[in-house]
Structure 1
Amino acid sequence: MRGWFDQAVGGLPRQFWLLWTGTLINRLGSFVVIFLAIYLTADRHFTQSQAGLVIGLYGVGGALGTTLGGVLADRWGRKPTMLTAQFGAAALMLALGFAHDYGQILAATFTLGLFSEAVRPAFSAMMVDIVPEKDRVRAFSLNYWAINLGFALSAVGAGLAAKVDYLLLFVVDAGSTLITALICLIFLHETRPAVRSPSRGRRDSGGMITALRDRVFMAYLLVSLLGIVVMMQHMSTLPIAMTAEGLSAATYGWVIAVNGVLIVLGQLFVPRLIGGRSPSRVLALGSLIIGLGFGLTAFAHASWFFALSVVIWTLGEMIQSPSNATTVAALSPASMRGRYQGLNSLSWSAGTALAPIAGGLTQEHLGNTALWLGCFLVCALAAAGHLVAGPSRQRRMRQLASAFEHPAPEPLPAAEPLPVAAGSEPPPAGDRAA
């Protein structure tokens, strides 16, 4: 056990552990997004469609935020982008908590999504900067472990806090975000690599258009989006479905906490399980397991059955998450890591926006059975996409790894001709070049 523990956590840079600590603290207080659907329908008495629009606007704001955050992470730097996003998100969280008018809630949620999600590409790019490629599966698994440890505890805590006052959810969430921003301000240092391009030392060798023209990467994001739309149902339509079965907000908190607890108990064993295996096959298997878990929700009527479905799709999530992160890192050119991470975060924001809208409409007009069985079919389609695209991804990863290890040398300046003494022949061209 001691040897396994050393292998799982040993040898990672100090700055990684500072990022890890900030992630854990932030997630411990991430109350609002988990309970936003219940808050809007149960406490503020909005309809399911109105609640879906609010959560969808969070995703739209997040989509803009991740795009902007990715560009700023490459041009401005990882640290200033993270600080601006985190301090802004803390202030906006309080603003949302005190908002009462529906229009104010829409505006605050949209802006909160923009600032909250802008930190993601800078954070991920910084992690890729500081962690060697051979340790990235471990590093991303550890970070994912911290996210879900915080998520498990925050889900239970949010359920208890909601019984006291929903405003408490917003206050605690803002406080944890502020603490994370202070850790970044005091302890972290900038990691943006000084990658030179042919155009006289500019740091980046391509813009967002270049990234958008990367067909291999964009195909990967499109396939991943299918799975994201399904995964995000646990934050939008799942709590509504459980409420319809007569289950309380606290019960939903305990059920969804199973997801975090299972990841906390088992995620550190995942790197050894998937190490050396084809990332595309791992992603395909994870998609099928996730689809199975959400599909079984169609037959759930009691809290224990909902918890069982969470266990199943969590197993798929556990093997899929580190493979997703390392695939994005391997497909990203060093000079554009922020942009590529931003596009990856954009796919999550797009899924966050689409999931409550598509899921809410399906749930309201076709019913829960159609919603959950449809989730299984979407995940099966995503699994097929990962398998088909696997060979092209592997070729691109090898090309980028080779280019990073053996960069093209910069052209030498033209040599000036040596002075020629009177009456002597000029030296050969090869000697002048030497």
Structure 2
Amino acid sequence: MQKYGNENLNRAIYHCGVCKFGAQKFKISMLKSGFERYINNFRGFSREVWILATITFINRAGTMVLPFLSKYLKEDLGFSYGEVGWVMVCFGLGSMLGSWLGGKLSDKIGFYKIMIFSLFTSGLLFLGLQFITSFWGLCIAMFVIMAVADMFRPAMFVSLGAYAKPENRTRAFTLVRLAVNLGFAAGPALGGLIIMGIGYQGLFWADGSSCIIAILIFALLVKEKKNPVHVDGHFTQDTKVDSVFKDRIFWVFLFVSFATAMIFFQIFSTLPLYHHEMYGLTEFQTGLLMTLNGLLIFFLEMPIVSIFDRNKTNKLKIMLWGSLMMTFSFAVLLFKGWAGVLVISIMFMTFGEMFLFPFSNSFALSRAPRGHEGRYMALFTMSFSLAHIMSSKTGMEMTSHFGYQTNWIFMGSLGIVAAVCCVWLMKMVREENV
């Protein structure tokens, strides 16, 4: 009996070991399969698109000034809320001018020259910004710097149309956004450490140097190419249009882009101050919250975009979901007292980004007929610049007079309006295609 009992026990132990080994092997196989599916989302891009993504990462990782600009002006230079708001207004006005010039000149002389001029010159200007500390001096300096720096954005969007295959353009936009957010994940946390170690001046050196390094890499490795032949959007290359200003659908779309960008830009103005004043967070802790945003986008955005692309999901419907998620990101901030709401808010904001920005980029380019890509993308980027002006000034003034809670309610309401406009846009597009 003892012998049979031992044999049964040994047999049971053996089978248990086999089951455990099989389970571990299955887990490893599943992880490997999941990793391969994730990597497959990044296949099919041209060499130039990868270089564009690389220089975008270098530039974004070095752009440490923006997340802390409002804190630098308020706490280091002693500006009032109103003065901080006006500097941000000049920042946005310069960005609008730069976006328009960048798009206009991209159509006339090509995106390649604009990109090189913009990044190299703005790098030098950022190096000099640290020596300007007066209110009016900073207003003028921020206007000039952003007028030069934001010539890059419409030119870069047009370049993706030239270097990416038509079927890969939405994913190419997403890849560049991933580079932006990966740099954004590293930049703020490193920026917080630099501030704590050597002060805000270190940020200006990092920002200026990264612009110059990034564009030198681009100039050395990427050859100039003509503007794209547009074949994947609503218009064909033979479509005749009188003016971008008569494209009614595009203008409603621009309002949605403006409204959602206005909500998003609170992350650079009122939110860092809210973190410190209401919850006592340090620059480094605020940087870690920004890092969470960047890491989530890095790991999730490309698979999400690929799934929507494969299923041919309506871009405007995805933007509708994104608008609602941005609304929720401010709704949760109304529950005060628990610091965990800051994490929940950032997560809603992050998913709102992932649903909104890649598909809005793609939709904007898809509306542009051949030879008008720069103009369309200029107006698209200008909507973000205008949002930067309105977001910072409105947020700062509303916070100063009525408090943070009123500002969160206003921004959440704006997200609802954007969602309603997305529904209206879907109806307009359906009627246009009948």
TM range (shorter): 0.7 to 0.9
The AA in structure 2 aligned to 1:261 is L
Selected match of 1:24 from 49, 52, 57: 57
2:110 pairs with one of 69, 77, 83? 77
Instruction: Show the counterpart of 2:156.
Output: 123
- 1:148 pairs with 2:148: no
Aligned to 1:349: 385
1:340 aligns with 2:376: yes
For residues 261 and 351 of structure 2, what CA distance do their matches in structure 1 show? 15
Instruction: Specify the alignment match of 1:215 in structure 2.
Output: 248
The partner residue of 1:271 within 269, 284, 305 is 305
- In structure 1, the residue matched to 2:260 is 227
Shift in alpha-carbon separation, 1:345–1:290, aligned structure 2, 3 A: same
Tell me the CA shift for residue 344 of structure 1: 0.6
Q: How far is 1:184 from its partner?
A: 2.3
Partner-residue secondary structure (3-state), 2:227: coil
Q: Which runs of 5+ in 2 are unaligned?
A: 1-33, 231-236
Tell me, yes or no, if structure 1 residue 317 matches structure 2 residue 350: no
Q: Which moved more, 1:58-67 or 1:289-298?
A: 289-298
- Selected match of 1:249 from 283, 288, 313: 283
Aligned to 2:225: 191
Taking structure 1 as reference, are residues 81 and 215 closer, same or farther at Cα in structure 2, changes over 3 Å only?
same
Match of 2:366 in 1: 330
For residues 61 and 240 of structure 2, what CA distance do their matches in structure 1 show?
37
**Pair 1:59 & 2:92 matched:** yes
Task: Report the AA paired with residue 46 of structure 2.
Answer: P
| 8 Å contact from structure 1 (residues 300, 306) kept in 2 | no
- CA-CA distance at 1:195 after TM superposition: 7.0
Matched position secondary structure for 1:59:
helix
- C-alpha displacement at 1:222, in angstroms? 1.3
Find the counterpart in structure 1 of residue 213 from structure 2.
Answer: 179
Partners in 2 of 1:61 and 1:314 — Cα distance?
27
User: Which residue does 2:27 correspond to in 1?
Assistant: none
> What are the ranges of 5 or more consecutive residues in structure 1 without an aligned counterpart?
197-202, 400-434
> Which range moved further: 182-191 or 236-245?
182-191
Instruction: Specify the code of the residue in structure 2 equivalent to 1:178.
Output: I
Task: Among all aligned residue pairs of Structure 1 and Structure 2, give the percentage whose two residues are the same amino acid.
Answer: 27
Code of the residue aligned with 1:360 in structure 2: it is M
2:269 pairs with 1:236: yes
Residue 295 of structure 2 corresponds to which residue in structure 1?
261
2:390 maps to amino acid: L
* Counterpart Cα distance in 1 of 2:108 and 2:381: 18
- How far off its partner does 1:304 sit? 2.9
Stretch of structure 1 that moved more, 384-393 or 119-128 = 384-393
Looking at structure 2, the residues matched to 165 and 39 of structure 1 have their Cα atoms a distance apart, in angstroms, of 10
Equivalent residue letter for 2:97: L
Is 1:135 paired with 2:135? no
Structural RMSD (CA): 2.2
Deviations 1:17-47 (A, max 9, x none): 1111111110110101111000001111111
Query: How far, CA to CA, are the matches of 2:228 and 2:362 in structure 1?
Result: 22
Q: Which residue is equivalent to 1:299?
A: 335
Superposed CA offset, 1:139-179 (max 9, x none): 12211111101001001001111112110000000010001
* C-alpha distance in structure 2 between counterparts of 1:242 and 1:49, whole Å: 19
Which of 170, 193, 218 is the equivalent residue of 1:160? Answer: 193
Cα distance between partner residues in 2 of 1:144 and 1:195: 23
* Number of the residue aligned with 1:46: 79
TM-score normalised by length of structure 1: 0.86
- Contact kept? 2:162, 2:228, Cα under 8 Å: no
Could you say which residue in structure 2 is the equivalent of 1:360?
396
Measured in 1, the distance between the counterparts of 2:431 and 2:154 equals 24
For residue 120 of structure 2, what is the aligned residue in structure 1? Answer: 87
Counterparts of 1:342-421 in structure 2, within 5 Å, are 342-393=378-429
Deviation at 1:243, TM superposition (A): 2.0
The Cα offsets for residues 244-270 of structure 1, whole Å up to 9 and x where unpaired, read as 123222221112222112111211211
| Contact 1:95 1:108 survives alignment (8 Å) | no
